[in-house]
Each structure stands twice: as structure tokens, then as C-alpha cells.
Structure 1
Amino acid sequence: MELLRLGPIGHEIPAVRHDGVCFDLRPLIDDIDPNFFAANGIERVRKALAAGELSTLDGADEMRIGAPLTRPSSIVCVGMNYAAHARETGAEPPERPVIFFKMPSTISGPNDPIELPPYATKADWEVELGVVIGTRTFRVASAEEGLDNVAGYVLGNDLSERRLQIEESGGQWSKGKNLPGFTPLGPWIRPAAEVDPSDLRLRSWVNGEVRQDSSTSDLIYSVGEIIFQLSQAMAFEPGDVILTGTPQGVGLSGQYPYLVDGDTVELELESLGRHRQVVTVTE
């Protein structure tokens, strides 16, 4: 089962794809948003599918694919969470998860253009496994309990502007992470019951050349451990997103040039689909 939002920006239609057929969710829900997750929306969709209560969405294949959720209260990101990525940056693996935040206004669709202002001279790609929280999560007792609070998983690109992140950051990573459109998500959310997050292949390309090729098995902190540790310090709400970190092969490594006008970025995560984004520099 794949949860999607299809249509023009700001007018996306909530939908579900099952066995290759796309169904319209508007008779059942308003949108795929925090209220959807708080009301056990995934189970409601599953029951409606089983009962044959949903109609097909005409023209779904021709519609723009939007981000598969909207208006999370927070996007919490984990940095330096792949062992090989930590090594390529010259850092030791962190003793605790490194955390930064992104604004909900950074969310965009998986195939929307990456629009850079002219001063964004060190824009970088980061393929990541995204976690969507299904219920209020605070002070869980274990990593296993943390996993019980996951509604689903999504592919994300944690785009970064390294000059703002590092050279003009004031010590805070978030400054280089929050340009509009800097969190492409999608194309769909797959329910947690259908995904084993412990060993998923994830890859990225720039202009057809491989940049990243790794597995979530290289995560320093697993999904459950991330939720366990972070929930001791913050409360997650339904629909919140956690980006779990990126593997080696980013521009920050010095092996590759940063993104420039006209570049094409592609990402892929096993069972969670593919992105394709073209870079444009805007005045």
C-alpha cells in the first residue's frame, strides 16, 4: 500500500495505490496530514480498500506527484549517522545522535525542481530514509517501543547549503538546511508493517553518475534507537518526520562538485521509490 498526494502545488489530492491501482481518498479523509495519522488513518484506508469502498482516481498517472504528507509539526534530522559518512568527513562516529531541525516550509514533491538562490554556491544532495511518526511519542522505554510508534517510511532528500551550514552557521547546522524546497519527500509513504528499515539499499546520482550507494545496515543509530533517545528530550506528534542521516558520497566529502544550474539529482530507496530533481538557479 502506497499513500500519495497528487496534483498541483497547494491542491494535492490524497490517494492510495494498491496492486498498481490508484484510489481517491477524498471521500474518506481531508488530507494526509497530522490529523490523518492521529486518527489511525492508515488502518482506516486499509479497511476501506478491503471493503471495496474506494473509487479509482481518474488520470492519476498524469498528475504531478506531491509530497505524500503535509504540515508536520516538525522535521527532526539526524546528522553523521552512517559510519562511512562520518569517516569521509574526517569525524569520529558521534557518541549521541547529532540533531538539527528543518522547517515544514522546506517540504516539496519528489520531482519538483530544486530552486537555488544565486548565493547558494555549495548545495549538496543527501539521500535518506524518512520516518513518519504515527502517535504522540515521549519517553518511550526502548528502541523496540520506539518502532511501535512509526506509521510509515518515506524517501527524502535532505538538501544542504554547506556555506550557510558551516561557514556562516554560527555553530548551528539548521541555517544551511532550510531554504524553501530543501526537503523533497516521496513519492509515497509505505506503512511501517510493510517495511524492514534495518537493511534497505539507498542510492543517489548526479547527472547519471553514482554518488551514494549504501544500506541502512550502516546506520550508527537504528530507527528504533533514534526514536528512543530523542523521545527522552522531545515529544513527537502524529505526522512528524525524522530523517535518519545520509551515507557517504556527498559533495561535502570533496570527491564531487556541489550542485549547479542544470544538474539532475536522482535518489532511490528500496521499496520506497525514486526522486528526480533538476537544479535551477533563480534571481
Structure 2
Amino acid sequence: MRRAQIFHGGRLVWATVSDDGAALNLPGGGYVAADAAAWLPPVTAGATVFALGLNYADHSRELGFAAKQATPLVFLKGHNTFVGHQGATPRPADADQMHPECELVAVIGRPTRKVREEDALRHVSAYTVANDYAIREYLENYYRPNARVKNRDATTPIGPWLVDAADVGDPQALKLSTRINGEEVQHGTTADMILSVAGLIAHLSDFMTLMPGDMILTGTPHGVRFVAAGDEVVTEVSGVGRLVNRVVAS
């Protein structure tokens, strides 16, 4: 099942997505055409959102890092950074090196503390897609992405929906891609993750309790291409979803 959060009738509504993706079925009956929906980020209020840096071997090599990190590079994201499917992301006037990053997102389904890696995927309820834009001019340190890079308003499109984990299968066998104005600029597979989805959950739950709705953005594969105002960016994860975003002038 796929569930999307939309704005309808003056309030936030969780709708189920039709099999063909053309309609969003409203609770209590009725539907909204997908191309007419006001899509919102499928993020639970109050959830903690984690993000990963340098978690794909090919992307690490692309940036000049030969060695794998001893421990994962984890940072937190505030909720104002998210924007829904078909939303707009502002590109700052002084940001000539802003580029998209396609990511698989794992959503925690139940309280999780000190779970073993071999059991960790049982704690995932759903997956979605994120495009965690980076702005290289603002980056102070690859090992510590600062808030100015990764917590700007509306710079992380996410969605379009949540897909039940059972419908996705093996999260380490998914293809990722990014297209700018129809041209593929990023392509990879989750098999290239340095620390798997299960490994990330085991790592985080070793020192803190993960709660239902918490999200983990699991990193991005190689491929750096800068965007300009007016570009349409499509990030896609096979079996999960296709997320569309527009870049606008700040």
C-alpha cells in the first residue's frame, strides 16, 4: 500500500494511492486526481529525521575519499527543510554549485532500541524517496555538513508517498536515478551503500531509541550536476517512487 499526505478541504489528510497512481483515495470516500493534488511531505510531526553523508562507496570516491568512514556520518534535519512532490526549491543567488542527491528513506515503524542488524528490517514500516540538495559553496567540512547546507527551507523534497516495507522487498537491491530536464545525471544502486539500511538502524538504536515515524535518509550515489532556476529535477528509487521538484530563484 502507498499512503500520501495532502492538503485537502482545509486540512492535512492521509490518502491511499490507487494502483495506477492516478488518484488519491480520501478517508471516508471520494478521491483527488494525482495531478490536481496539493502534495505535502509524508513526514510525521515530531519525528526525528536522520541523514547520512558519504554512505555510498562510489560517491565517496567521486569526492576524493579513498577510505571508508570508521563510523557513519550522521546529521539531523529540521522539518522546515522538507517540501512535497511537485514542490519548488529555492536556489540562493550566490549558489552556483547546488546539486540534487537521490536517496532512499527508511521509516521506523515501532520503538527500536539496541536491535541486532539481522533483525533491524523488521522495524521498518515503509520507504520513500528524498532529494537532499547540497550547496557546495556553503560546505564547511565534508565530515560535518553544516546547517546552512542541509537545513535550508524547502531544500529537501520528499515523497511522493510512503510505500509499505513489505511491498518493497530487499532495500539493498534498488536502483536510484536523478534526471535534470530529462537528462540522467545520477545513477546507482543501494547495493553500493557502505552501511546498509539494517546496519544504520542497528548503529543508531545502539545509543538511542528510534520511534515510529522517525526517518533515515540513507545517502546518495555518485553523480554531481549543478542546477539552475527553472530546472525540473526527478529523483527515482525503483519500487518506491518518482519524486518531481522544480528549482526556482531565491
Do these two structures clear the TM 0.5 threshold for a shared fold by scoring above it? yes
Q: Deviation string for 1:252-280 (max 9, x for gaps)?
A: xxxx4x22222221111111121222211
Partner of 1:179: 152
Who is 1:107 aligned against? 82
1:68 aligns with 2:42: yes
Task: Tell me if 1:123 matches 2:98.
Answer: yes
Deviations 1:147-196 (A, max 9, x none): 11111000111112222223xx6973132100011221111111111112
- Structure 1 residues 19 and 73: alpha-carbon distance in aligned structure 2, compared to 1, 3 A threshold: closer
Say what the alpha-carbon RMSD is for the aligned residues: 2.2
Q: Which runs of 4+ in 1 moved over 4 A?
A: 58-61
1:173-252 matched pairs, under 5 angstroms: 173-175=145-147, 176-196=149-169, 197-250=171-224
- Give the stretch that moved more between structures: 147-156 or 14-23: 14-23
1:122·1:259 contact (CA, 8 Å) conserved in 2?
A: yes
Cα contact 2:73–2:143 (8 A) shared by 1: no
Give, as a single letter, the amino acid of the residue that structure 2 aligns with 1:186: G
Query: How far apart are the structure 1 equivalents of 2:14 and 2:161?
Result: 11
> Which whole-Å CA distance do the structure 2 matches of 1:186 and 1:170 have between them?
26
Match of 2:122 in 1: 148
Shift in CA distance, 90/202, structure 1 to aligned 2, threshold 3 Å: same
* SS of 1:238 mapped into structure 2: coil
Displacement of 1:58 after TM fit?
Answer: 4.5
After superposing the two structures, state which structure 1 stretch, 148-157 or 1-10, moved more.
Answer: 1-10
The structural deviation recorded for 1:59 is: 4.3
* Greater C-alpha radius of gyration: 1
Bigger helix share = 1
Q: Alignment partner of 2:216: what SS?
A: strand
Separation of aligned partners in 2, 1:14 and 1:136: 22
What does 1:5-20 align with in structure 2 at a 5 Å threshold? 5-7=5-7, 11-20=11-20
Paired with 2:179 and 2:33, the residues of 1 have a C-alpha distance of 30
1:270 correspondence with 2:245:
no
Please state whether the residue corresponding to 1:225 is helix, strand or coil.
helix
Match of 1:24 in 2: 26
| Identical-residue share of aligned pairs (%) | 33
Check 1:214–1:9 CA distance in 2 against 1; reply closer, same or farther (3 A cut): farther
SS in 2 for 1:15: strand
Distance 2:151 2:71 in 1: 23
1:61, distance to aligned residue in structure 2 (A): 4.6
Q: CA deviation at 1:231?
A: 1.2
TM-score if structure 1 supplies the norm length?
Answer: 0.80
Partner AA of 1:172 in structure 2: R
* Shift in Å, 1:137: 1.6
Q: Is the Cα–Cα contact under 8 Å of residues 6 and 60 in structure 1 kept in the other structure?
A: no
Range that drifts further, 114-123 or 151-160 = 114-123
**Quick one: structure 1 residues 210 and 93, their matched pair in 2 at CA, closer, same or farther if it must change by over 3 Å?**
same
The structure-2 alpha-carbon separation of the partners of 1:124 and 1:9, relative to structure 1 and needing over 3 Å to count, comes to: farther
Give 1:128 deviation, angstroms.
Answer: 0.3
With the length of structure 2 as denominator, give the TM-score of the two structures: 0.90
Shift of the 129–10 alpha-carbon distance from structure 1 to 2, 3 Å rule, reads farther
Give the CA deviation at 1:118. Answer: 2.3
Q: How many Å separate the matches in 1 of 2:164 and 2:228?
A: 35
- Kindly indicate whether the alpha-carbon contact (under 8 Å) linking 2:14 and 2:26 is maintained by their aligned counterparts in 1: yes
Unmatched segments (≥5 aa) in structure 1 = 28-54, 251-255
